[in-house]
Amino acid sequence: MNEEFEKLVRRNCEISSFNSGIAIIAVFILSAFFLYQGLENSTFFLSITGLAIGYYAYTMTKKFKGEIKGGVFWVDMIKENPENIIWIKPILQKNTVALVITLYKERHFQFLTKDGLRIVMKCDSDKDQQTFIEGIHIHLPNAQFGYSYEMVEIYSANPENFIDALSVKGMYTPISAYKK
């Protein structure tokens, strides 16, 4: 595996995993706080709020399972099971003030797998973007690249048959179809 691409994926996935882990821990702590306050003060509303927040944190860990796996997991998947990563979604995140003035933009890429795992990686610099594009051309040539609302619906309906469903609709555009 290209060493530069491996370092980029490992580093950015580790950062994403760390941030997701901190968010999940913070939500569990918030849940525990509300539960404790509800039980301590015999307040039904606080107890129910704590349970609801706890349930939300639990569903977050299920939904964002790929986000908390870490960089080593994703690098190993690219090395050993590249066919499992079926979609790479480019994301442009605009950070604005008052929904009008854009302060700065961040470029991200999201890996999505056949079994519903996903992770978002930041690739902001031109060098990181170039390394990423070259790496996916080499290691993930059959993954779908791009984004549309229809692709989201197809993936949500059945991630395992995503590529086949795109092919049937004439929407399948693997990375190998794009020039470097």
pLDDT digits (tens, 9 = 90+) for 53-96: 999 989 888 877 888 888 999 999 999 999 999 999 999 888 88
Q: Which three-class secondary structure state does DSSP give residue 133?
A: helix
Banded pLDDT at 171 (limits 50, 70, 90): very high
Q: Are 150 and 167 found together in one domain?
A: yes
Question: What contacts 81, CB < 8 A, 6 or more positions away?
Answer: none
What phi, psi does 140 have (nearest 5°)?
-130, 50
pLDDT number for residue 96: 80
Q: Are 92 and 149 found together in one domain?
A: yes
Of 47, 62, 171, 77, the closest CA to residue 116 belongs to 62
Global confidence as pTM: 0.81
Cα→Cα distances 74→6, 22, 80, 119, Å: 9, 19, 10, 9
**For residue 120, which amino acid is it?**
V
Q: Are 87 and 68 in contact (CB under 8 A)?
A: no
Q: How far is Cα 107 from Cα 121, in angstroms, rounded to an integer?
A: 9
Q: How far is Cα 70 from Cα 112, in angstroms, rounded to an integer?
A: 14
Last residue of a domain, one of 31, 47, 63: 63
Number of structural domains the chain divides into: 2
Q: Are 102 and 50 found together in one domain?
A: no
pLDDT number for residue 180: 65
Average pLDDT over residues 134-146: 94
Of 23, 14, 149, the closest CA to residue 71 belongs to 14
pLDDT for 161 beyond 90 = yes
Q: Are 9 and 135 in contact (CB under 8 A)?
A: yes
Q: How far is Cα 83 from Cα 113, in angstroms, rounded to an integer?
A: 9
Q: Are 116 and 152 found together in one domain?
A: yes
Sheet of strand 85-97, all strands in order from the earlier edge strand to the far edge: 118-122, 101-113, 85-97, 144-145
Q: What is the mean pLDDT of the chain?
A: 91
Q: Are 76 and 162 found together in one domain?
A: yes
- The range of the structural domain enclosing residue 7 comes to 3-63
Q: Are 122 and 171 found together in one domain?
A: yes
